[in-house]
Chains A and B, each alone.
Chain A
């Protein structure tokens, strides 16, 4: 049904999306925990910064990434000299763009999940002899897990759909940064690309739908578990 080139595009999208979400997971969880549980000066600022990619036009986010991580940007130059790593025109750059765009969604979903943890259960664990850390691992984390997984899936869906920031930051390089949305866009530029556009667009919709359904199911499953805590 799909040509070899098209499968390559799908594979690249899955790779970029997967890496973006997995690499962002610790940061997203950390931020979600911080914002859900702690009060500290500058909290509102952090909250705002986390949500910025959600409201700023993706092209602007891509441009800011270019300024910071591009070959002449402060972080880009440091990566080049310290690790010999360049994100320009590379799938790693695409993954970074996708990660930044997915971060706010993931933090929001995880934060909701963390806020839903019954802290009295954590208290009960403490009285039973668990340290704060042990209580986190054995009580808090397992109870938050469905929500965390839902956040992952949601972030993944956002990542594979990312366009504006990607094309602005790392351009449209076949095999490296030409993910599903960019490939569809390219095919649209050429008058006889209709068939390919249709195939890829259907695939894109199917992937996003599957991710949304999975995310919803996970959240519901998590809620069912929570309802039983009252006993």
Chain B
């Protein structure tokens, strides 16, 4: 399972680009704020269209050579910096949103497994607005995992958490990397995070 990414895009008066290949494990995209790291993730996910380039994951071409697979068909899980849980649905419905949409044959994780993996069983009937930062981030990760993705994108998932919560979530991420063996593309500007979690680091210019 590998990433083969070569992208370029003009945003305003900035030019954002990246060219890298990555294997299994957690690949960190490391760089200062404003380097366009989030935009790169958005392009990989299909939320933003590159001006030119290609995106290949495994043996699938998601973008390039006249191909542009829509985001819903890319089988990529995305954990956003701000969680982005749906406010009008409870935690359970949030978790299952992508699960219901996935092909039954593609699903490799059930709700119970995800709940146990992340320790969020007691939150299932809560509303997103009543969750703490750490709880919400766990639910966001669970939602992305239950979507049966082939890989995971994470955009600075620890930046809005306090020290204790960061430790919790880092443990979860390590388990995703090692136990679930899901390839992760991880964006961060924090050296310590990157040093601890990354299998490989790709530096992006500012």
Q: List residues of A whose CB falls within 8 A of some B CB.
A: 120-121, 123-132, 134, 138-139, 142-143, 225-231
Using A120-B82, A127-B71, A131-B70 as known contacts, list a sample of 11 further A-B pairs with CB atoms less than 8 Å apart, ordered by residue number in A. A120-B84, A121-B86, A127-B74, A127-B98, A129-B102, A130-B97, A138-B97, A143-B88, A226-B87, A228-B129, A231-B128
A72 CB to closest chain B CB, in angstroms? 51
A138 CB to closest chain B CB, in angstroms? 8
Interface 0/1 of B125-139, CB less than 8 Å to A: 001110101001000
- Determine which of B70, B84, B127, B129 lies in contact with A124 in the assembled complex, contact meaning CB atoms within 8 Å: B84
- Can you report 14 residue pairs joining A to B where beta carbons are below 8 Å apart? A121-B86, A123-B71, A127-B47, A127-B72, A127-B98, A130-B98, A131-B70, A134-B72, A138-B97, A139-B86, A143-B87, A225-B88, A228-B127, A229-B84
Q: Summarize A's interface: helix, strand, loop or mixed.
A: helix
- Determine which of B70, B88, B147 lies in contact with A142 in the assembled complex, contact meaning CB atoms within 8 Å: B88
A229 touching B87 by the CB < 8 A rule? yes
Chain B residues 57 to 96 lying within 8 A of chain A, measured CB to CB, are: 70-72, 74, 76-78, 80, 82-88
Given contacts A231-B83, A231-B128, A231-B131, contact A127 B77 (CB under 8 A): yes
B80 touching A131 by the CB < 8 A rule? no
Given contacts A231-B129, A231-B136, contact A128 B101 (CB under 8 A): yes
A231 touching B70 by the CB < 8 A rule? no
Query: Bound state CA distance, A147 and B47, in angstroms?
Result: 26
Contact-size category for B = 20 to 34
Given contacts A126-B47, A128-B98, A129-B147, contact A120 B127 (CB under 8 A): no
Chain B residues 146 to 178 lying within 8 A of chain A, measured CB to CB, are: 147
Q: Which residues of B contact A128 (CB under 8 A)?
A: 72, 77, 97-98, 101, 143-144, 147
Q: Which residues of B contact A227 (CB under 8 A)?
A: 129
Query: Bound state CA distance, A228 and B131, in angstroms?
Result: 10
Asked if B45 is at the interface of the complex by the 8 Å CB criterion, the answer is: yes
Query: Bound state CA distance, A138 and B96, in angstroms?
Result: 13
Query: Bound state CA distance, A43 and B201, in angstroms?
Result: 47
Q: Which residues of A contact B127 (CB under 8 A)?
A: 228
Query: Bound state CA distance, A93 and B46, in angstroms?
Result: 49
Query: Bound state CA distance, A120 and B80, in angstroms?
Result: 10
Query: Bound state CA distance, A139 and B101, in angstroms?
Result: 14
B93 closest partner in A (C-beta):
A138
9 shortest interchain CB distances as A-B pairs: A228-B129, A128-B98, A129-B101, A126-B71, A127-B78, A124-B84, A231-B136, A228-B87, A229-B87
Query: Bound state CA distance, A231 and B90, in angstroms?
Result: 13
A129 touching B72 by the CB < 8 A rule? yes
A181 CB to closest chain B CB, in angstroms? 38
Q: Which residues of A contact B98 (CB under 8 A)?
A: 127-130
B69 CB to closest chain A CB, in angstroms? 12
